[in-house]
Chain A
Amino acid sequence: MPDDSAINVTSETIGNAAVVTPHGDVDLARSPVLRNSLRQVQNAKPGRLIVDLTMVDYMDSSGVATLVEALQIARKNNTRMVLCGMKDRVRSIFEIARLDTVFSIATSRESAMTA
């Protein structure tokens, strides 16, 4: 049986910013992988955490919950957390959950570096 939980999440450091980029759908099967990646990056307490969602076509509430957890950790660590590259379909779940005003959301990775 294929391992559908094998979402690819890349992370890199640009200046004082850690950039985390998940690839693929973020649902109940795959959100734990994103959660682990974010935890690892946040252990270093970066000044800025950018989650680039350009490669995410779909996200459910488990993915949103993962990002809310990361936001709570970021606030404790005085890390500026910014989401970017959000497609309309992904953005709609943040709007339904009324979280679109809670997160800092930038259109591109470049604008997220200064948002």
Chain B
Amino acid sequence: MTTPPDIRVHLVSDPTYLSGVRDLIAAVARRLSFSDDACGQIALAVDEALANVIRHGYDRRKDGPITVSIWPLPGDNGHPRPGIRIVVEDEARQVDPGQIKSRDLDQVRPGGLGVHIIRQIMDEVVYEKRTGPGMRLTLVKRVPDPAARPTCADCTCSSAPSKPAPNT
């Protein structure tokens, strides 16, 4: 996306600042007409993305640069509902985007849930290698159409319509 973002936040890879980013994302999403539940879930998805950068990209180093950029998305012919685009960029180790996958949830073990959570919550999830160092993760979420999903419109609870399994 070539249009400059409406909001751009630079932070270091210190988990201390995750709560501040969550609050920002939820507040912006609320202004863009997402429900309270959806705001919390979008903030969770970004939190998981940042946590993955901190843990796996920077190996828990606390001084690695991370940029979070936010664009409001107006509704248009292709996507009648408005939404939000969030891009997370780092200068950490690059990995093949094809290797970034959810794990088998039938295995009850700690860890490895972040990518699954991100894919369950967001409508679009694209990992890319940046031209320079690091990775770029683009996340898009559209305000759900209440007519199409009258119940649990924007959550992923057990009574919500199921999404296709990621990476299948």
A12 adjacent to chain B (CB < 8 Å): no
- If A65-B110, A96-B117, A97-B116 touch, whether A4 touches B19 (CB-CB below 8 Å) is yes
Asked if B110 and A66 make an inter-chain contact with CB atoms under 8 angstroms apart, the answer reads: yes
A115 adjacent to chain B (CB < 8 Å): no
Interface size for chain B: under 10, 10 to 19, 20 to 34, or 35 or more residues? 20 to 34
Report the nearest B residue to A25, measured CB to CB. B19
- If A65-B111, A96-B156 touch, whether A1 touches B16 (CB-CB below 8 Å) is yes
B25 adjacent to chain A (CB < 8 Å): no
Binds A, one of B2-10, B44-52, B93-101, B134-142: B44-52
Residue numbers in B under 8 Å from A60 (CB-CB): 18, 44, 47-48, 51
Residue numbers in A under 8 Å from B158 (CB-CB): 95, 100
Residue with the highest number of chain A CB atoms closer than 10 Å, among B37, B111, B113: B113
Residue numbers in B under 8 Å from A5 (CB-CB): 15-16
Residue numbers in B under 8 Å from A2 (CB-CB): 16
Partner of A61, one of B19, B117, B155: B117
Whole-angstrom distance between the Cβ of A28 and the nearest chain B Cβ: 4
B105 adjacent to chain A (CB < 8 Å): yes
Whole-angstrom distance between the Cβ of A107 and the nearest chain B Cβ: 16
Residues of A81-115 contacting chain B, CB below 8 A: 88-89, 91-93, 95-100, 102
Given contacts A60-B48, A60-B51, 18 further A-B contacts (CB under 8 A): A2-B16, A4-B15, A25-B19, A27-B19, A27-B47, A58-B44, A60-B44, A60-B47, A61-B114, A88-B37, A89-B40, A92-B37, A92-B157, A93-B44, A97-B113, A98-B105, A100-B158, A102-B108
**7 closest residue pairs by CB, A with B:** A65-B110, A29-B15, A61-B113, A4-B16, A28-B15, A68-B110, A28-B51
11 contacts across the A-B interface (CB closer than 8 A): A4-B16, A27-B47, A28-B51, A58-B22, A60-B51, A62-B51, A65-B111, A69-B110, A93-B44, A96-B121, A99-B108
